[in-house]
Structure 1
Amino acid sequence: MGGARNLTTRLRTARGRTTASQKWLERQLNDPYVKAAKAAGYRSRAAFKILELDERFKLFQSHQRIVDLGAAPGGWTQVAVRRAGERGKVVALDILPMEPMNGAIVLQGDFQEEEAERAVLDALAGQADLVMSDIAPNTTGHNATDHLRILALVELAADFARKVLAPGGAFVAKVFQGGTERELLNALKRDYATVRHAKPPASRKDSAEMYVVAQGFRGGQGAGPGR
């Protein structure tokens, strides 16, 4: 706005930092979602992405059984715990260690392994109502390569969801712009009543990320075979 002071926070020193890390830190310092996450007690700004997706798609209900894949540091898990309530059950799984969280069962493991799948089902004591995945590979900067890598992860997460979801359940996963490849999209449409893409406002404008939201899992009636 004309005449307004520049309120952008800048780092006092860039000594010892790469240009990329300096830009990242400045962006974090000036990101309103980072500040809002701290004020609300969320572990990451990503909490607002799932909150905004829930506002649009009504993902959460009380008493749900929820699985959060790639959960660390736990922003989505916190939202799930609050929305599922005391009678719900939330299982957070990540290949990296994650700090314990009241109201959630935190597991460390690779969701691609059968052992992790069994551990999740044992912790849930039943099938899941919602499987969430905010997993993304480290980006290379090469759009075509990054797109293929994230799609591979989404396919694996979708396969996991197919194995643990109860009929009527939902699956939410991060993809990159360009959406979901036809083969995967067709499989999701076979498995779920509705499949939509969305980019929540909390996703940074310069980020290629968006989310696929699949609802109304058909279970054994129409679900495709695990891959």
Structure 2
Amino acid sequence: MKKVQDHYFKRAKQENYPARSVYKLQEMDNNFKLLRPGQKVLDLGATPGSWTLYAAKKVGPSGRVIAVDLNPTETAFPENVTFLVADALEPGPEFTALLDSVKPFDLVISDMAPKTTGQRITDQARSLELVEQALALAGTCLIHGGHFVAKIFMGPDVKAFTDSMRGSFEKVKTAKPKSSRSESFEQFIVGLGFRGLPEIAGG
């Protein structure tokens, strides 16, 4: 597996992506047909920017990518990308205004992860909370028929959460891309064909 990891790391450098995580999105895009020219994409937890660059390339000059992260990045983005340092889950006026000016989005992607504590149950719970918040945000700005992708740490609550999503999407899948490290307990939830969140979502 070490050779595989080295392969993705070297490939990312060769193809001018700041991180190997790009190949996770690429594999899911190949499998689920997520991205196409002209789309508008919201990228949550975007730093260092590999997913943003890949999405920008796929949507092309007629598309738009809004990328947001708590941390800045030194990655240079093409003109169809707007990168904002902000808290996507507690949107301030600048981020809210940007969302309002661009939405609805065809695709919302989230590679957000909590700061890990080493306590697996705690990390899983925090990861689930991030995904729930990402989905709530997506529910306010995702076009009918749009798609949602989010990283989550595997745990006992994931199945119940994915089951709860089934009323909001035509299909709900989970994915563990080949480029994801074997020792990592991350996986990705993929919601295809957005129908709208139920009124009771969020309590």
Structure-2 residue corresponding to 1:154: 131
Please tell me whether the aligned partners of residues 91 and 123 of structure 1 are also in contact (alpha carbons under 8 angstroms). no
- Structural mapping, 1:1-227, within 5 Å: 31-99=6-74, 100-102=76-78, 103-115=80-92, 117-124=95-102, 126-178=103-155, 181-219=158-196, 223-227=198-202
Letter in 1 for 2:67: A
Runs (5+) with no aligned partner, structure 2: none
Please tell me whether the aligned partners of residues 86 and 95 of structure 2 are also in contact (alpha carbons under 8 angstroms). no
Q: Bigger CA drift: 180-189 or 91-100?
A: 180-189
The alpha carbon displacement at 1:142 in A equals 1.6
Letter in 1 for 2:52: T
Q: Secondary structure at the match of 1:160?
A: helix
Q: Normalising to structure 2: TM-score of the pair?
A: 0.89
CA displacement, residues 37-68 of structure 1 (integer Å, 9 cap, x when unaligned): 00011111110110011111111111000000
Distance 2:35 2:157 in 1: 23
Please tell me whether the aligned partners of residues 116 and 123 of structure 2 are also in contact (alpha carbons under 8 angstroms). yes
Letter in 1 for 2:162: L
Distance 2:145 2:108 in 1: 12
Give me the identity figure in percent: 39
Distance 1:105 1:180, change over 3 A: farther
Let me know the Cα RMSD of the aligned residues.
2.0
Letter in 2 for 1:131: V
Q: Normalising to structure 1: TM-score of the pair?
A: 0.80
Runs (5+) with no aligned partner, structure 1: 1-26
**Structure 1 ranges of 4+ moved more than 6 A:** none
Structure number with larger C-alpha Rg = 1
Distance 1:86 1:190, change over 3 A: same
Letter in 2 for 1:195: V
The alpha carbon displacement at 1:185 in A equals 2.3
Q: Bigger CA drift: 174-183 or 162-171?
A: 174-183
The alpha carbon displacement at 1:179 in A equals 6.8
Paired residues, number: 197
Distance 2:137 2:191 in 1: 14
The alpha carbon displacement at 1:98 in A equals 2.4
